[in-house]
Amino acid sequence: MKDKVVIITGASSGIGLACAREFAHRGALVSVCARSADKLEEIKSEFDAAGHKLLVTEADVSREEDCKRLIDNTVREFGKIDILINNAGMSMRALFIDLHLDVMRKLMDINFWGTVYCTKYALPYILEQKGSVVGVSSIAGFIGLPGRAGYSASKYAMHGFLNTLRVENLRKGLHVLIVAPGFTASNIRKTALTADGSAQGETPRNENKMMSAEEVALRIIKAIQKRKRTLILTFVEGKLTVFLSKWLPALVDKLSYNVMAKEPDSPFK
């Protein structure tokens, strides 16, 4: 990864920040974005102190003009783009019947359109390098996750977009990777939206028993180096679930329902 130019969206915490640190440690030139200017400044200070080159851009990926500015800033600073990691994302927890549709639109704007906007403006530069476009998705992009209708819909849409992008550029050397981390210790559940669009605040799951963001970042980098097309992490909640969904979909429906219904304060009654 020495001197590779890497863009990471949603890099103020969790998987995005872990990826930024690991890429920088390996000698990459890293460009990150997030909505919080304060967090970006903290991260910039951390990287500067460690002697790592980091470019920060305050941006909301649901806004096309912000995504274009992120790409323009990166090319202006580093002259190229080798890897784009579409990591910015938001989750939710509510039954669809109770869900305000504005919540679903917000998830689509961030999770799906944020990926589309950033990829659209970065793609010409990535093709020049025969580089990688990465989408940090979820198991919810492979199975319909109950209580997460907007989240699953946005991740299914991301998969369709990235899989098509891969086929369209089959002869141009483009690498496209879809990552499904499974449940990862991060703040995505704390910021998840409820039925009315308010933040959930407290995670309903035991974060200590989940894969760490740092481990996910290491796996992502290895998958990029091997130019894998799909990276599904964790065994039971990840690989086994996706496998069974192809052969025993009705069983997976029941198991998914039962697992989600057992969460504290579950919307299932």
Q: How far is CA 9 from CA 56, 86, 135, 148, 265, in A?
A: 10, 6, 10, 22, 31
What is the residue type of 11?
A
155-169 as b/e, with b when 16 or more CB fall inside 10 Å? bbbbbebbeebbeeb
Cβ-contact 56, 67 below 8 angstroms: no
151 is catalytic: yes
Query: Could you tell me the end-to-end alpha-carbon distance of the chain, in angstroms, rounded to an integer?
Result: 49
Q: How far is CA 219 from CA 120, 136, 137, 212, 232, in A?
A: 25, 12, 14, 11, 10
φ, ψ for residue 94, nearest 5 deg: -175, 155
Among residues 191, 194, 192, 188, which one has the least CA distance to residue 99? 194
* Cα(25)–Cα(144) distance, integer angstroms: 37
Give me the catalytic one of 125, 151, 156, 257.
Answer: 151
* Cα(10)–Cα(59) distance, integer angstroms: 9
Strand 132-136 to 83-86 pairing: parallel
Residue positions annotated with a catalytic role: 151
